A and B are shown apart, each in its own frame.
Chain A
Amino acid sequence: DVKVTQSSRYLVKRTGEKVFLECVQDMDHENMFWYRQDPGLGLRLIYFSYDVKMKEKGDIPEGYSVSREKKERFSLILESASTNQTSMYLCASSLGLPFEVYGYTFGSGTRLTVV
């Protein structure tokens, strides 16, 4: 089975800190995604990547950046953490289209609290 591993389950950071969330997948998937989950808002796409060193903005990229230096690893960076970035962050990977064959596989999530 494909495994998507997020390095931390829980994180507490201070306002203004630079925060790194790491995600690693072990099945040579081309596509990787970062979403955040908030009550009443569902899953919103922050950034995604189709290939190494390639990135695309999602729906809510402000305050975030990403890095994909190796195919298996996709990092989400909060340049200067703020309290409104307190959320559950979910990483996902996918081999590609069609979705009926290659859906998303999600990691277990990182619960980030910014104080």
Chain B
Amino acid sequence: DQQVKQNSPSLSVQEGRISILNCDYTNSMFDYFLWYKKYPAEGPTFLISISSIKDKNEDGRFTVFLNKSAKHLSLHIVPSQPGDSAVYFCAASAQGAQKLVFGQGTRLTINP
């Protein structure tokens, strides 16, 4: 049972435009959400996070939006750059749990 779902396996975006990566979850006990970025032959690295008490968090070109009623979050990258080409994983954690549940990942390709 996939509790965190990223339904788009891949996304292709023109350099300079906005990239929007989506993530849905089913467990209403999740209260903290993170995005990780992974390059080939490297481990995932933390990108940005959001607590369930917020609906938006920004860090430079990256913004995460949370819609709790829809159990949906999205990552916006503006403007997209070639170095953003990577696999992006959405992850979630339930209150008090010390482990993360990850989605399937979305491969983002930024075209020059």
Which of B11-19, B58-66, B67-75, B100-108 makes up part of the contact surface? B100-108
Whether B43 pairs with A42 at a CB distance below 8 angstroms is no
What residue of chain A has the Cβ atom nearest to residue B57's Cβ? A100
B15-42 contact mask (Cβ, 8 Å, vs A): 1 or 0: 0000000000000000010101000011
Q: Is A4 part of the contact surface with B, judged by Cβ < 8 Å? A: yes
Distance of A94 Cα from B36 Cα, bound (Å):
15
Whether A97 pairs with B98 at a CB distance below 8 angstroms is yes
| CB neighbours of A98 from chain B (8 A) | 32
A: contact size bracket: 20 to 34
What residue of chain B has the Cβ atom nearest to residue A42's Cβ? B104
| CB neighbours of B44 from chain A (8 A) | 43, 90, 104, 106
| A57 → chain B closest CB, angstroms | 11
The size of the chain B interface, using a CB distance under 8 A, is: 26
A14-43 contact mask (Cβ, 8 Å, vs B): 1 or 0: 000000000000000001010100001111
Q: Is B82 part of the contact surface with A, judged by Cβ < 8 Å? A: no
Would you list which residues of chain B between 84 and 112 have a CB under 8 Å from chain A? 89, 91, 93, 96, 98-105
Known: A9-B41, A106-B45. A96 touches B98 (CB 8 A): yes
Whether A103 pairs with B98 at a CB distance below 8 angstroms is no
List B residues at the A interface (Cβ < 8 Å).
4, 6, 9, 32, 34, 36, 41-46, 49, 51, 89, 91, 93, 96, 98-105
